[in-house]
Amino acid sequence: MANISLKQLRYFEALAEHAHFGRAADACAISQPALSMQIKELEESLGTDLVERGAKQVRLTRFGAEIAPNVREILKSVEELQNLARAEQEAVAGQFRIGIIPTIAPYLLPSIVGQLLAAYPDLDMHLRETQTATLLSDVEDGSLDAAILALPVSEPHLVEAPLFEEAFVLVRTPEDAALPVPSAEVLGKMRLLLLEEGHCFRDQALTFCGLRTGLPRDSLEGSSLSTLVQMVALGLGVTLIPELAVPIETRSADVSIARFEDRVPMRQVGMVWRKGHPLSAQFQEIGEVVQRVGLDALAQMRSTA
């Protein structure tokens, strides 16, 4: 049982998660032979095999599957110890793993990263862009420290820090630019282009149109806001996008933008992290930087609209 290292346990955790030496090595930012060697040394220290090595896939042995949860708990405890030590130092530094949803990332992430690294040069940022459900799961299990997404998420174990509000705008063809902006009820009867299932922005658009339980008859779906805007340019329908997306998504598309006046669809952008996290004070500081970035971007865009 001698010579078991935390590094070996982290590599084993990655292998258990990815079930593939190559993908696990990529996740750990090492070469595949180096990871394989560390797993072999761990097996020798434990005196038993942990994985069944196949040509395309790796499976945990019975013993490997049995200890995998224990390994995760050990690594989580070590991480909590490190976080407690970082919290004592009070400075915003060290590893920070943050997730962000796809309908925010392309428009704010460059500025967020730039300003955070300028303010906290010792911060080691790790980024993940994915959908809300995955981000929440990763924050709750400790795979991520925090996430930037749309609030509320109503998870009892998470802190929700509101940052700024963002309006939705209507994207339609230039030929329709002179027409009145449709009401939510009328919009719900039009050919509305939506993001695929799993995107919270899709649910927000449906809620605004009063279509929480169903889709418009002629609706179409896309995998990104960029795809939706290009579909509008082709005359396939209309869509909603967040206002921060307008400069990027409409610069190469022949579309018109209209703002709602009476009942304006909005979303609350915020940051979440686990309640009781030792680094909550540092996360609050980071959230304030993200807030400034978002508010500055909105003010600049509205001043030129």
Q: Are 277 and 83 in contact (CB under 8 A)?
A: yes
Q: What are phi and psi of 238, to 5 degrees?
A: -125, 165
Question: How confident is the model at residue 242, as a pLDDT?
Answer: 94
**Residue 102: predicted pLDDT:** 93
| Total Cβ atoms within 10 A of residue 51 | 22
Among 57-71, 85-99, 264-278, 281-295, the range scoring the smallest mean pLDDT is 85-99
Query: What is the mean pLDDT of the segment spanning 32-42?
Result: 89
Across the range 219-235, mean pLDDT stands at 89
**DSSP structure class, residue 99:** E
pLDDT at 64 over 90: no
- What is the three-state SS of 254-280? CCEEEECCCCCCEEEEEEEEECCCCCH
Q: Give pLDDT, residue 219.
A: 63
Q: Please give the helix or strand (H or E) that residue 129 lies within, else none.
A: strand 123-129
Candidates 244, 284, 288, 287; CA nearest to 266 is 244
Q: What is the pLDDT of residue 221?
A: 85
Average pLDDT over residues 292-303: 90
Distance CA 185, CA 166 (A): 21
pLDDT beyond 60 at 213: no
Q: What percent of the chain has pLDDT over 70?
A: 92
For the chain, give the number of residues.
305
Contact status, residue 189 vs residue 211, Cβ threshold 8 Å:
no
pLDDT bracket for residue 151 (50, 70, 90): very high
pLDDT of 88 above 90: no
CA quadruple 55, 59, 64, 68: dihedral positive or negative? positive
Is pLDDT at 91 greater than 70 in this prediction? Answer: no
* pLDDT at residue 93 tops 60: yes
Tens digit of each residue's pLDDT (9 = 90 or more) over 100-145: 999 999 999 999 999 999 999 988 899 999 999 999 999 988 889 9
Going from the N-terminus, what domains does the chain have, and what CATH number goes with each?
A: 6-86 (1.10.10.10), 89-161+269-304 (3.40.190.10), 165-266 (3.40.190.10)
- pLDDT: is 215 or 123 the higher one? 123
Confidence class for position 72, pLDDT limits 50, 70, 90: confident
Mean pLDDT for the chain? 87
Please name the amino acid found at residue 146: A
Mapped onto helix, strand or coil, the DSSP state of residue 18 is: helix
256 token code pair: 């018109």
Write the pLDDT tens digit of every residue in 229-251. 999 999 999 999 999 999 999 99
The pLDDT value recorded for residue 143 is: 85
Q: Helix or strand or coil: residue 144?
A: coil
CB 246, CB 169: distance < 8 Å: yes
Neighbours of 220 (CB within 10 A): 16
SS3 assignment, position 161: strand
CB neighbour class for 185 (10 Å; exposed up to 12, middle 13-18, buried from 19) = exposed
Q: Given a cut of 90, is residue 20 above it in pLDDT?
A: no
Mean local confidence (pLDDT), 67-84: 77
pLDDT of residue 296: 94
Please list the residues that pair with 271 across neighbouring strands.
148, 161
Q: What is the mean pLDDT of residues 43-69?
A: 85
Classify strands 123-129 and 146-151 as parallel, antiparallel or unpaired: unpaired
